[in-house]
């Protein structure tokens, strides 16, 4: 039986959070191996993939990718996180879980995180010719006119 | 030998899409060679909206996700925020929520059954089911003041208590639903055309259902006993006596049977909830999490401060930490993942919508089959576009 602790030990992860909502941070180079192990240990349902933008919070990276796993025999849950920076790619898990296909496309569309090895890395919710990634914290909240009036419409420029 | 295929667009404005979806079909004669499901026509950026709304304000947005069962969305969201704030809701609220989410489940399932019959050309079941839903919407209107966009829950409670005479209305509605389900059974269950159009159509094997993260009636029709009300009880569902419905046929017929039987189970739960309905407050009183009575706000300084602390800009609930809370919506597992940063608005709110993952399994179910079967399959999956795109 695998739990959060064994995953953390095996893949040099750190556990944060408490109780049922605890989660483990794993380096992005080891996340595929970790999910592969979980899949073998009955955690074979990838319920959800999402990301968090931590702009300006003094975190080691800009984005965190979050995986929600579920055990198909006792329905217990496990949450794994991995860090990724802007302009870095993150490994895909579509070869392990078919459900990751749309989910990773959504993360790409909303946050601009490129999943390396994904066979169909297109936008999913926004139109193909859409510019920017809406769920990033530096995406302007107002509409088109607002953006045209102010030249500094994105903080991406400041960051570089 | 290469296959010469014909391209066909299904949607975005096709009556059988029940919303706005787009499916690109590559046809080899009349059979489907490949499909590409597309979405995003109803993308409203609800997750972005959440980042600039307080926890209470966002309840209104959740109505617009699965518009066939808005109450389930309201309840699931409030439940997630309550877990984040470590609040326990009063017993009465818990029972009211169970009852309302089951009523809403019935209205979703019954419409789904009616529509899937209509897509295959049977128009009468559709009329029966919509008439039925009308009854339930009358109940919702009396309780919440709105038929579709209910916005009924609040963090730590409900907008108001149940109105007088509520029980009688629900009992009448239940009698009506049970009768209609019998009639629907006569119209569909004993109908040869319905049998032939649904049995063996849209097959989704167990392993594939797990690989695609499918939930809800579609998963249970593939023989996997996963219902959050049983597997990870919330709102005290473990106290109620009802059955977990599964079917092993993995097809459209199985999904029809699961929905049909779940309606009957929901009726059972509602009756039990009404029987044991406790009396008392509907809002949690500890920690000044819910709004005070208007009387108190206007007559006492404590009440005024309490009100101010919840309503004014920059005040309100300020949780920290993160939570993933899931509940069984009519279409499947509806999960809210909230990351809070100690301000009155969430830093991140993600909705794990059941339709998003169920829709993804479409190619698996229809490739190699006939075009006509795709219509049957799509309506049996019950993809709600509002929830799909959020």
Interface contacts A/B by beta carbons within 8 Å: 81
Give residues with Cβ within 8 angstroms of A29, minimum separation 6: A91
Domain B6-45+89-286+356-381: CATH superfamily is Cytochrome-c3 Hydrogenase, chain B (1.10.645.10)
CB contact under 8 A, A72 and B210: yes
What is the pLDDT of chain A when averaged over all its residues?
A: 82
Please give the pLDDT value at position A160: 47
Instruction: Indicate whether B328 pLDDT > 80.
Output: yes
pTM: 0.89
Instruction: Indicate whether B43 pLDDT > 80.
Output: yes
- Please name each of the domains of chain A with its CATH number: 4-159 (3.30.460.80)
Instruction: Indicate whether A151 pLDDT > 50.
Output: no
**pLDDT > 70: percent of chain B:** 99
**pLDDT > 90: percent of chain B:** 17
ipTM: 0.87
Question: How many CB atoms lie under 10 A from the CB of residue A123?
Answer: 16
- Say if CB B20 and CB B12 are below 8 A apart: yes
Q: Average of pLDDT values for A143-150?
A: 52
Please give the pLDDT value at position B104: 92
Q: CB-side exposure of B47: number of CA atoms within 13 Å?
A: 29
Please give the pLDDT value at position A142: 67
Instruction: Indicate whether B379 pLDDT > 80.
Output: yes
Q: Average of pLDDT values for B308-317?
A: 82
CB contact under 8 A, A124 and B39: yes
What is the pLDDT of chain B when averaged over all its residues?
A: 88
Domain ranges in chain B are 6-45+89-286+356-381
Express each pLDDT in B125-154 by its tens digit: 888 888 888 888 988 998 888 888 888 888
Please give the pLDDT value at position A4: 79
Of residues A100 and A150, the one with the higher pLDDT is: A100
Q: Average of pLDDT values for B58-71?
A: 88
Q: Average of pLDDT values for A89-105?
A: 89
CB contact under 8 A, A75 and B226: yes
A50, A68, A126 ranked by CB distance to B43: nearest: A126
Instruction: Indicate whether B30 pLDDT > 60.
Output: yes
Express each pLDDT in B146-190 by its tens digit: 888 888 888 888 888 888 888 888 998 899 899 988 888 888 888
Minimal-distance CA residue of chain A relative to B385: A125
Instruction: Indicate whether A61 pLDDT > 60.
Output: yes
Q: Average of pLDDT values for A99-110?
A: 90
Q: How far apart are the first and last CA of chain B?
A: 43
Pairs from B339-344 (Cβ < 8 Å, separation ≥ 24): B339/A52, B340/B84, B342/B318, B343/B318, B344/B54, B344/B55, B344/B314, B344/B315, B344/B316, B344/B317, B344/B318
Please give the pLDDT value at position B186: 85
- B347 lies within 8 A of chain A by CB: yes
């Amino acid at each position: 039986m695998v739990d959060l602790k064994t995953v953390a030990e095996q893949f040099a992860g750190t556990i944060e959070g408490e109780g049922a909502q605890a989660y483990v941070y794993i380096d992005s180079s080891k996340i595929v191996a970790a999910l592969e192990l979980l899949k073998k240990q009955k955690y074979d349902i990838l319920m959800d993939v999402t990301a968090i933008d931590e702009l300006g919070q003094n975190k080691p990276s800009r984005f965190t990718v979050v995986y929600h796993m579920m055990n198909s025999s006792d329905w217990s849950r496990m949450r794994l996180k991995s860090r990724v920076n802007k302009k870095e790619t993150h490994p895909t898990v579509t070869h392990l879980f078919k459900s990751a296909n749309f989910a990773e496309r959504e993360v790409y569309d909303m946050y601009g995180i490129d999943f390396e090895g994904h066979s169909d890395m297109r936008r999913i919710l926004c139109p193909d010719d859409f510019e920017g990634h809406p769920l990033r914290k530096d995406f302007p909240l107002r509409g088109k006119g607002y953006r045209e009036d102010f030249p500094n419409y994105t903080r991406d420029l400041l960051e570089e | 030998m290469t296959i010469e295929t014909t391209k066909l667009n299904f949607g975005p404005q096709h009556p059988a899409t029940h919303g706005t979806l787009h499916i690109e079909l590559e046809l080899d004669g009349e059979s489907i060679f490949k499909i590409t499901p597309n979405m995003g026509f109803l993308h409203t950026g609800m997750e972005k909206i959440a980042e600039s709304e307080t926890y209470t304000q966002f309840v209104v947005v959740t109505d617009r996700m699965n518009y066939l069962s808005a109450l389930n969305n309201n309840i699931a969201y409030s439940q997630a925020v309550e877990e984040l704030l470590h609040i326990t809701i009063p017993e009465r609220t818990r029972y009211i929520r169970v009852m309302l989410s089951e009523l809403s489940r019935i209205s979703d399932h019954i419409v789904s059954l009616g529509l899937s019959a209509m897509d295959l050309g049977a128009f009468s079941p559709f009329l029966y089911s919509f008439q039925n839903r009308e009854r339930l919407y009358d109940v919702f209107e009396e309780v919440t003041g709105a038929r579709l966009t209910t916005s009924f829950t609040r963090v730590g409670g409900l907008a108001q208590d149940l109105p007088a005479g509520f029980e009688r209305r629900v009992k009448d509605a239940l009698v009506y639903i049970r009768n209609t389900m019998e009639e629907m059974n006569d119209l569909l269950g004993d109908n040869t055309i319905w049998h032939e159009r649904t049995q063996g159509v849209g097959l989704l094997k167990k392993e594939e259902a797990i690989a695609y993260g499918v939930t809800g009636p579609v998963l249970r029709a593939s023989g996997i006993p996963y219902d959050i009300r049983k597997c990870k009880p919330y709102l005290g569902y473990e106290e109620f006596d009802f059955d977990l419905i599964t079917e092993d046929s993995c097809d459209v017929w199985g999904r029809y049977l699961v929905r049909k039987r779940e309606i009957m189970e929901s009726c059972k739960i509602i009756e039990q909830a009404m029987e044991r309905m406790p009396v008392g407050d509907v809002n949690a009183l500890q920690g000044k999490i819910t709004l005070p009575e208007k009387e108190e706000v206007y007559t006492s300084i404590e009440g005024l401060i309490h009100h101010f602390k919840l309503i004014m800009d920059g005040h309100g609930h300020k949780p920290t930490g993160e939570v993933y809370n899931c509940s069984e919506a009519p279409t499947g597992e509806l999960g809210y993942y909230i990351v809070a940063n100690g301000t009155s608005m969430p830093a991140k709110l993600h909705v794990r919508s059941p339709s998003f993952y169920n829709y993804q399994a479409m190619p698996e179910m229809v490739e190699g089959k006939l075009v006509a079967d795709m219509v049957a399959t799509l309506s049996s999956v019950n993809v709600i576009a509002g929830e799909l795109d959020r």
